[in-house]
């Protein structure tokens, strides 16, 4: 238990520290930049995220899957880097050939060529960052992983302060500062771990390369669809809304990202731990206790956000308070994704990565349909509702296909809790008296549904404390 918690906390330092830095960076930005300008800057970040997902071609997931299966991990790293790096160069070339069109789509202006080129350059830097951090994570170098995660965020904060305080206060200030900070942080990361790129003695292993591509390509469809699922609301607002609506929606997503810290911390440590437990043939109770613990934690944190949604939006700037009603729906994304990481293991354990495509289809198509149907009329609220409902379907699909390929554990309790969370998210769109009491009542209902889990976790904690870890291997 102690070893489990120690690793979790070590991996949490990076995301938590990065979130603390972001909580400084975001208000600095939003206090000086209007929602409309912030909306333009968010389109740059959105497209960068979408293209980054495509360019990895699922090889990043194949890399983590093969990491504990091969002897020469250095060779595995170089093999994994080949296709994503080449694809990022192709994307940069395509952007440079279509600068006007890229600029118009991103910013509604056809002459922002420097910012458009920066988009392509950042794709190259983020490729190196992705695989270096994956290596640190899979090697379970938690502290190093966390420190570099924080370092990159600090570099972006420093660049943001320089721009908004001394140079300019428009969307370009956000774009330029984010790009400069990212490149500086990634450059240090690459120099510090330059040994990863040593080519001496490297021999191309065709069988390994093909195996990674076969595992990864089905996942690139799923990963791209997942990214599109996260982006559909903003893309819909770009089509039927305004940069102001995009800015408000993005601001709410930034606050929802507080829960994404827990998601990132847990996933960073859980993936290698789950693979190790599976290879050691640990009992299903191990996985179930983790899932129940995550369900309890995320549902409590979710209501914590709802209780203080107005105050949290006020941190950004008073002009962003109208977006507080979106928080409940947008927080469902990190909440349900984190919980689903404990219920989707059958897909990765069985190596049936193609099932992730079906997961994506079953959640993305309804998301697109709902956005087309309700965003033109309800704007940002419609985009938030489409996002929340789609992630419920995402969780259900992941869990269903996992159960078909792994023994798993009962999920009735999970579904009941998620139904309450979705209801709370919809209810909090509206502003009416006694909202706090309504949220409190739903929180108590969620706790009641999980009463048995709370008792089991409490008894497990007491037992572990009594044995002081000497007779219990759980969470090791």
Residues 123/55, Cβ–Cβ less than 8 Å:
yes
DSSP for 315-346, please give it: HH-GGGGGGGGGHHHHHHHHHHHHHHTTT-HH
Place of tokens 């108590």: 444
Between CA 142 and CA 268 the distance in angstroms is: 9
pLDDT, one tens digit per residue, over 123-180 is: 999 999 999 988 888 887 777 877 888 888 888 888 888 888 888 888 899 899 989 9
Domain presence at residue 173? yes
More confident residue, 382 or 32: 382
pLDDT, one tens digit per residue, over 53-66 is: 888 888 888 888 88
* Least confident interval from 188-202, 203-217, 453-467: 453-467
Indicate left, alpha or beta for 33 from its phi (over 0: left) and psi (-120 to 50: alpha). beta
Half-sphere exposure (Cβ direction) of 45: Cα atoms closer than 13 Å: 22
**Tokens (6 digits) for 300:** 């409590």
pLDDT, one tens digit per residue, over 28-44 is: 788 888 888 889 998 99
Domain presence at residue 22? yes
Domain presence at residue 470? no
399 Cβ contact partners less than 8 Å away, ≥ 6 residues apart: 340, 343, 344, 411, 414
C-alpha distances in Å from residue 423, one per residue of 52, 301, 429, 430: 33, 16, 10, 12
Place of tokens 């059958």: 346
Residues 43/297, Cβ–Cβ less than 8 Å:
no
pLDDT for 3: 61
pLDDT for 304: 93
Domain presence at residue 471? no
Domain presence at residue 324? yes
Q: Is the pLDDT assigned to residue 412 strictly greater than 80?
A: yes
Domain presence at residue 473? no
Domain presence at residue 475? no
Domain presence at residue 97? yes
Range of the domain at 43: 2-465
Q: Is 181 exposed, middle or buried (0-12, 13-18, 19+ CB in 10 A)?
A: buried
Could you give the number of structural domains in the chain? 1
Q: Is the pLDDT assigned to residue 316 strictly greater than 90?
A: no
Buried b / exposed e along 248-263 (16+ C-beta atoms within 10 A) = bbbbbbbbbbbbbbbb
């Amino acid at each position: 238990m102690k070893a489990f918690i120690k690793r979790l906390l070590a991996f949490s330092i990076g995301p938590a520290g990065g979130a603390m830095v972001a909580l400084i960076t975001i208000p600095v930005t939003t206090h000086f930049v209007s929602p409309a300008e912030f909306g333009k800057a968010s389109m740059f970040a959105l497209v960068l995220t979408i293209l980054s997902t495509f360019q990895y071609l699922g090889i990043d997931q194949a890399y983590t899957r093969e990491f504990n299966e091969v002897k020469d991990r250095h060779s595995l790293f170089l093999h994994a880097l080949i296709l994503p790096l080449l694809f990022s160069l192709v994307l940069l070339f395509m952007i440079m050939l279509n600068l006007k069109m890229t600029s118009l789509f991103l910013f509604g202006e056809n002459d922002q060529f420097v910012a458009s080129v920066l988009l392509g350059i950042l794709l190259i830097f983020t490729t190196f960052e992705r695989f270096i951090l994956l290596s640190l994570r899979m090697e379970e170098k938690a502290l190093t992983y966390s420190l570099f995660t924080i370092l990159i965020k600090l570099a972006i904060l420093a660049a943001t302060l320089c721009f908004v305080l001394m140079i300019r206060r428009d969307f370009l200030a956000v774009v330029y500062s984010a790009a400069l900070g990212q490149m500086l942080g990634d450059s240090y990361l690459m120099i510090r771990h330059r040994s990863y790129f040593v080519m001496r003695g490297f021999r191309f292993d065709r069988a390994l390369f093909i195996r990674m591509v076969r595992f990864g390509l089905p996942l690139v469809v799923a990963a791209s669809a997942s990214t599109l699922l996260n982006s559909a609301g903003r893309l819909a607002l770009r089509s039927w809304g305004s940069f102001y609506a995009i800015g408000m929606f993005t601001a709410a997503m930034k606050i929802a990202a507080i829960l994404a810290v827990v998601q990132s911390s847990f996933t960073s440590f859980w993936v290698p731990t789950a693979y190790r437990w599976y290879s050691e043939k640990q009992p299903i109770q191990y996985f179930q206790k983790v899932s129940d613990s995550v369900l309890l934690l995320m549902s409590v944190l979710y209501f914590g956000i709802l209780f203080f949604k107005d105050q949290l939006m006020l941190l950004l700037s008073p002009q962003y308070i109208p977006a507080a009603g979106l928080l409940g729906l947008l927080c469902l994304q990190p909440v349900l994704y984190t919980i689903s990481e404990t219920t989707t293991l059958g897909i990765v354990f069985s190596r049936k990565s193609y099932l992730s495509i079906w997961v994506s289809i079953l959640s993305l198509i309804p998301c697109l349909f709902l956005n087309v149907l309700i965003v033109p009329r309800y704007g940002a609220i419609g985009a938030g509702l489409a996002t929340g409902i789609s992630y419920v379907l995402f969780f259900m699909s992941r869990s269903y296909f996992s159960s078909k390929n792994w023994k798993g554990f009962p999920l009735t309790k999970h579904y009941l809790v998620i139904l309450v969370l979705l209801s709370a998210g919809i209810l909090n769109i509206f502003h009416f008296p006694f909202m706090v009491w309504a949220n409190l009542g739903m929180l108590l209902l969620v706790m009641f549904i999980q009463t048995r889990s709370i008792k089991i976790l409490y008894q497990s904690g007491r037992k572990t404390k009594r044995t002081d870890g000497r007779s219990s291997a759980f969470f090791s």
